[in-house]
Structure 1
Amino acid sequence: MVLLGAPGVGKGTQAKKLQEVFNLAHISTGDMLRDAVRQGTDSGIKAKEYMEKGELVPDDLIIDLVDERLGKDDCQEGFILDGFPRTVIQAEKLDMLLRKRGIGLDDVVTIDVPNEAIILRLSKRRVCDTCGYVLESDEANPGDPCPKCGEGTVIRRKDDGPESVRRRLEVYDEKTRSLIQYYDGRRLLKTVDGTGSPATIFDRLVGTLGLA
């Protein structure tokens, strides 16, 4: 399945919960890129060149990483693509990859949260500057060691300020509107209300997917 949603709607949190409960592989392109760079794989070396220049990693390279990831044993029982694809072009490339592997896409779920709620949520968000772990509000304060990896420091991201978030939401809407229409036209799209506690959202998600 593909899990979509604007920055701050909680895609990662819900994907990890689905992974834990239903033994699905959680595939985040951001995590894949960081892992590939750290491990020094061929794709990671290529990706690092773009990342160090502050450039977007090309679609074909992302698809190569996804292809490598889908070949691992933990994907054989099912997987969640977290935040990918982001454009129709990426979706079409993903379709080709899945067909090549004989895999069908069952569901595309978008988590929907009003923009003002996202802005408020992100203004309180804290993350680890090393492993990227997103903290619950009561786990630690900025400047504390990361409670997950123990190596990084808890920070508030600069791009989580209100004006920056508004711009990111505008960009997301511009880039993904046609993607939503693409999957809706294929009758794969399902929408889940992303307001409320993570547990409440998870219950809605499970119900929407028919996994309850």
Structure 2
Amino acid sequence: MAQRLLIMGPQGVGKGTQAALLAEHYGIPAISTGDIFRYNLKNGTPLGKEAQGYIDKGELVPDELTNKIVEDRLGMDDAKQGWILDGYPRSASQVEALDAMLQNLDTPLSAVVALDADRTVLMERMEKRAKIEGRTDDTPEVIAKRLDVYAHETKPLLDVYGERGVLIRVDGVGEIASISKTIIDQLDALHA
């Protein structure tokens, strides 16, 4: 069965790591919105040029354009047998847009994997990552603000997916392989 998954959770919880492992396990692409934007910008696609206009002005790319970029990516050949989407949707309007996209593509969502961890653990992880990767913009204040934005804007979306019966909640603290196995076991149980 084709897996079409969303992976959600606060920054620093390990979404990228788990998305890569799930992508390998299921033989489908892990797609992060950041990667999609970089691809379109680097290749000067029409959507990339439109996004660049906002970025050059220091503005956020509006939802409407983000939605078009995501829909374009989900329609590519390598995503026909499934995908894992990381970093989208982040708002209620993006959930509606994703629902419409999936209906247009005739590709229902399989599940939403929600990783979670205690805020102090996330702060420690992100501060450590900032030091390792030399991210000077990842100050404790910036990290705290990002976690607050997630808690207020994105976390409530989990309730929507919970009501639909497609939400899997997994503790993002522990051994990476163990977390991955838990996710796969829960996905298998959901579709059994």
Structures share fold, TM-score greater than 0.5: yes
Provide Cα deviations, 1:144-185, integer angstroms capped at 9, x if missing partner: xxxxxxxxxxx3213433232122111110101331221112
Letter in 2 for 1:187: G
**Mind listing any 5+ residue stretches in structure 2 that lack a counterpart?**
none
Q: Which residue of the other structure, out of 163, 166, 171, is the alignment partner of 2:141?
A: 163
Tell me if 1:206 matches 2:187: no
Counterparts of 1:113 and 1:178 in 2: how far apart (Å)?
A: 16
**Aligned match of 1:148:** none
**Aligned match of 2:164:** 186
Counterparts of 1:196 and 1:49 in 2: how far apart (Å)?
A: 42
**Aligned match of 1:123:** 127
Higher helix share: 2
Larger deviation, residues 177-186 vs 85-94: 177-186
Give the alignment's TM-score, normalised by structure 1: 0.82
Letter in 1 for 2:158: I
Letter in 2 for 1:35: Y
**Aligned match of 2:154:** 176
Q: Following TM superposition, where does structure 1 have runs of at least 4 consecutive aligned residues deviating by more than 4 angstroms?
A: none
Tell me if 1:45 matches 2:52: no
What is the CA distance between 1:78 and its match in structure 2? Answer: 0.8
Q: 1:187 to 1:24 in 2, by over 3 A?
A: same
Equivalent residues of 1:122, 1:161 under 8 A apart: no
Counterparts of 2:77 and 2:115 in 1: how far apart (Å)?
A: 28
Tell me if 1:57 matches 2:57: no
Letter in 2 for 1:157: R
What is the CA distance between 1:6 and its match in structure 2? Answer: 0.4
Query: How many residues were matched structurally?
Result: 185
Q: Which residue of the other structure, out of 4, 26, 29, is the alignment partner of 2:30?
A: 26
Task: Provide the alpha-carbon RMSD of the alignment.
Answer: 1.6
Tell me if 1:67 matches 2:79: no
Give the alignment's TM-score, normalised by structure 2: 0.90
Counterparts of 2:129 and 2:11 in 1: how far apart (Å)?
A: 12
Tell me if 1:88 matches 2:66: no
What is the CA distance between 1:25 and its match in structure 2? Answer: 1.5
**Aligned match of 1:104:** 108
**Aligned match of 1:147:** none
**Using CA pairs below 8 Å that are at least 6 residues apart, which structure has the higher relative contact order?**
2
Percent same amino acid at aligned positions? 41
Q: 1:204 to 1:159 in 2, by over 3 A?
A: farther
Counterparts of 2:111 and 2:90 in 1: how far apart (Å)?
A: 15
**Mind listing any 5+ residue stretches in structure 1 that lack a counterpart?**
127-140, 143-154
